[in-house]
Structure 1
Amino acid sequence: MPDNNLGSRVRELRAWRGLDLRVAADLAGLSYGYLGKLERGDMPINSRQTLEAIAWALRVAPDEITGVTPEPAGHASPELHDAANSLADLLSGWWVGEVPDTPGRPLPEVLAELRAFHASRNLNGPRGAGDYPTQVAKLIPLIRDLLVAAADPATGREALTPLLTGYHVAGSISARLRLPGMPSMAAERMQQVADKLGDPVWQSVASWGRAHFISSTSRSRQYELAVSVADSAPPDRPETRGMANLTAALAAAAQGQADVAHTHLTEAAGIAERIEPDTSPWPAGIMQFGRTNAGIFRVSIGVELGEGARIAEVASKVRPETISSGRQASFWADYGRALMSERKHRGQGLPALLKAEVLAPHQLYRDPFVRAVVSSQLTTAGQDTFGRELRGLAWRMGLAPIG
């Protein structure tokens, strides 16, 4: 296309998005004046980097601007690759009781920062914890400092529980990004901390972590471990029993055992009703058990059992805004792909996937089920709003757009 037509197309797409020139320029990382010149045709769009920056800001595929299908963007960013390697080095390189080769900061300072980190993961927008590479970059030095404190007789006991929560976050991020082996490694570290604490409450938390993070190829073993925790966890912390039932329900659903899954869901829902907040703050940064998470699991299990768009009634009762952005993203991703599985509802499903993308893009991009449903829709996507949105999402996920 001639350069001036490219600029006109950018202006049309920006107007369709309802963005003014300055906002669009900021989103693309360009100056206000430069984008204006591009739109007017005073300057050409002559680099892939500029084209893709504008496409990303407008949330469309580059071919919506050029009419030419480009090479797809990779869904594994360098930042994510670096974060995964750093996290693997930390989990494999240092056991509880060993002292990393870095000086530790004062424990009160570390604990205050960790509390702020846990709180920020429940916030959206600029005050939130950021994307997963950003979270990993914040988490690694915190775990290192806590390892140093845990090995010091003066601070060891006080550092152990926060260290366990840090390891759980590492496992949770690894699981959501589907990093092989790392969730189980994080669970092992949780168990090492719990053994040092010698407290039945934290032993149960670590045992649940093991069940929760077990490989998806071992669903029968996951179910067995989760049920054991649900039956034996100390009753004074019902969150552990509740989450163990949710994990057992998901494991049963993954094996096609609908009745068993619903039995555990019912048990978890009953426990959740005895907890005052929709999302329990205990333990910090770990379970997020309560009515909200029980509802999110109910949606996930409904999708697993093939309920499709019928899950909408359950989803309408969930208040995802009361839980962390990662869990919110899981909710919208599962809900979206359930709706996308039925042609007449796919127009409602795509906005749900786009919500998940805003909340946790790396998590959505690496979800194999979302990738499959987006790929399957590309062949029939037209030139309407749905098709344009879908191709944009496919491009950002690293899937070759079609049409």
Structure 2
Amino acid sequence: MPDSNDLGRRVRELRSWRGLSMRTTADLAGLSYGYLGKLERGEKPVNSRQVLEALALALRVAPDELAGSAPDAAGHVPPESHDAANALANLLSDWWVGEVPDAPGRPLPEVLSELMAFHESRNSTGPWGAGDYPAQVAKLTPLIRDLLAVAADPAAGREALAPLLTAYHVAGSIAARLRIPGMPSMAADRMRQVADKLDDPVWQAVALWGRAHFISSTSRPRQYELAVSVADSAPPDRLETRGMANLTAALAAAAQGQEDVAETHLAEAAAIADRIEAEVSPWPAGIMQFGRTNTAIFRVSIGVELGQGARVTEIASAVRPETISSGRQASFWTDYGRGLMESRKHRDAGLTALLKAEKLAPEQVHRNVFVREAVSDALASARRDAGGRELRGFAWRMGVAPTG
């Protein structure tokens, strides 16, 4: 089982490899010398995107290189996740929109029916399906292949394009969860190709939001710029795109420590959500899930990002997670839980929230670097306090164990 302080160790190793002193690295990252020392020794966790990305920039690596690959309890990444993702990545790289894959296609009504069932299952509010990425990719890859085959047909192809765009977005979303370099941006590019063929401002705005959504976390200023552009220019026919663009902009601002800017975009998203009848809009095919619930979930996530810690309890009390997909429910419980874990007083409640998230989407939770950091930090206290059986079990399932 790996060391609980994997992230601190990687920072120390990369700093040494770059020939940087701790003082220089701290200055480059905008951190205090003392905090960086505690981080490297495993005495302090990394609990925000802002810190993780500042360290990555100082060390000239991608944030994922610091976050690493989350192992299972046996100490390795499950091969089925990589095998399924590689098959999807090959399909995205090998075939452009307008080209016909080298496999027989199926009738479009059959493909659309199966895609709709896939979206409904993936966005179900029930406790199943979330984070089962190998199973999702196994269904998604042939669907994209079939839609590509139909899309190349001059007579019937247009009907397949919008569904193909939503399938590409799911591909990018799964790739982002699995931290596969390059694949989310490739999915965004395929979304753009589809939108260009549709020549429809509504779908072009969705594709532009996808680009902002999937942009690398090393480019937060650019992500913010792109998201604001979509929020300002997306057609009013579908308010969901403007709403999601504001949420993306809010998160990009929060990751840069810009609290006032983030709050402005959250307020704009909330105003847009109030104009939509449903708590969670089903358009387009569940890939955005924009509405009051998702806006509230983003508000919790951003509150944690901005260091509000246990204060997010008041915000979280207004969330109705049961109205949104189990994957987004897991995201809510994940961020809420790690926010509570920052306070020893609320650590038990935080662990309860994380266990709810794990039940909904275990792989999604186990791979979350901030959860792993919070659990590693809590393990040290559990050793001192001679408690924490549930915490230790959770840590074991994540592949995290205390040192010493």
Shift of 1:154: 2.4
Q: Which residue number in structure 2 is paired with residue 390 of structure 1?
A: 391
Shift of 1:382: 4.6
8 Å CA contact 1:336–1:352 kept in 2: the answer is yes
Q: 1:385 to 1:392 in 2, by over 3 A?
A: farther
CA distance in 2, matches of 1:126, 1:344: 29
8 Å CA contact 1:200–1:234 kept in 2: the answer is yes
Counterparts of residues 9-88 of structure 1 (less than 5 Å)? 72-74=73-75, 76-88=77-89
Shift of 1:99: 1.1
Unaligned runs of 5+ in 1: 1-70
- 1:92 equivalent in alignment to 2:93: yes
8 Å CA contact 1:72–1:401 kept in 2: the answer is no
Q: Which residue number in structure 2 is paired with residue 155 of structure 1?
A: 156
Q: 1:224 to 1:126 in 2, by over 3 A?
A: closer
Shift of 1:380: 2.0
1:243-287 deviations in Å (ceiling 9; x for gaps): 000000000011111000000000000000000110001111311
Q: Which residue number in structure 2 is paired with residue 313 of structure 1?
A: 314
Counterparts of residues 2-401 of structure 1 (less than 5 Å)? 72-74=73-75, 76-123=77-124, 128=129, 131-382=132-383, 387-401=388-402
With normalisation by structure 2, the TM-score equals 0.79
CA distance in 1, matches of 2:186, 2:260: 32
Please tell me the residue identity of whatever aligns with 2:396.
W
Please tell me the residue identity of whatever aligns with 2:165.
L
Please tell me the residue identity of whatever aligns with 1:318.
V
CA distance in 2, matches of 1:179, 1:217: 14
8 Å CA contact 1:279–1:293 kept in 2: the answer is yes
Partner of 2:381, secondary structure, is coil
Please tell me the residue identity of whatever aligns with 1:285.
G
8 Å CA contact 1:395–1:401 kept in 2: the answer is no
Shift of 1:293: 0.5
Structure 1 residues 114-123 or 186-195, which shifts more? 114-123
Q: Which residue number in structure 1 is paired with residue 66 of structure 2?
A: none
8 Å CA contact 2:224–2:248 kept in 1: the answer is yes
Partner of 2:313, secondary structure, is helix
Q: 1:322 to 1:91 in 2, by over 3 A?
A: same
With normalisation by structure 1, the TM-score equals 0.79
Please tell me the residue identity of whatever aligns with 1:375.
S
Partner of 1:380, secondary structure, is helix
CA distance in 2, matches of 1:258, 1:375: 27
1:45-95 deviations in Å (ceiling 9; x for gaps): xxxxxxxxxxxxxxxxxxxxxxxxxx9423621221212212211211111
8 Å CA contact 2:175–2:183 kept in 1: the answer is yes
Partner of 2:242, secondary structure, is helix
Q: 1:296 to 1:75 in 2, by over 3 A?
A: farther
Partner of 2:388, secondary structure, is helix
Q: 1:294 to 1:129 in 2, by over 3 A?
A: closer
8 Å CA contact 2:130–2:327 kept in 1: the answer is no
CA distance in 1, matches of 2:130, 2:311: 33
8 Å CA contact 1:111–1:162 kept in 2: the answer is yes
Structure 1 residues 77-86 or 221-230, which shifts more? 77-86
Please tell me the residue identity of whatever aligns with 1:271.
I
Shift of 1:128: 4.2
CA distance in 1, matches of 2:129, 2:376: 31
Q: 1:366 to 1:225 in 2, by over 3 A?
A: same
Structure 1 residues 102-111 or 173-182, which shifts more? 173-182
Q: Percent identity?
A: 78
Shift of 1:168: 0.5
CA distance in 1, matches of 2:76, 2:125: 22
8 Å CA contact 1:177–1:362 kept in 2: the answer is no
Q: Which runs of 4+ in 1 moved over 4 A?
A: 124-130, 382-386
Please tell me the residue identity of whatever aligns with 1:88.
A
Q: 1:397 to 1:127 in 2, by over 3 A?
A: closer
CA distance in 1, matches of 2:128, 2:362: 17
CA distance in 2, matches of 1:84, 1:385: 41
Q: Which residue number in structure 2 is paired with residue 29 of structure 1?
A: none
Shift of 1:365: 1.3
Please tell me the residue identity of whatever aligns with 1:362.
E
8 Å CA contact 1:321–1:328 kept in 2: the answer is yes
Structure 1 residues 186-195 or 369-378, which shifts more? 369-378
1:144-194 deviations in Å (ceiling 9; x for gaps): 100001011222100000000000011111112222211111101100000
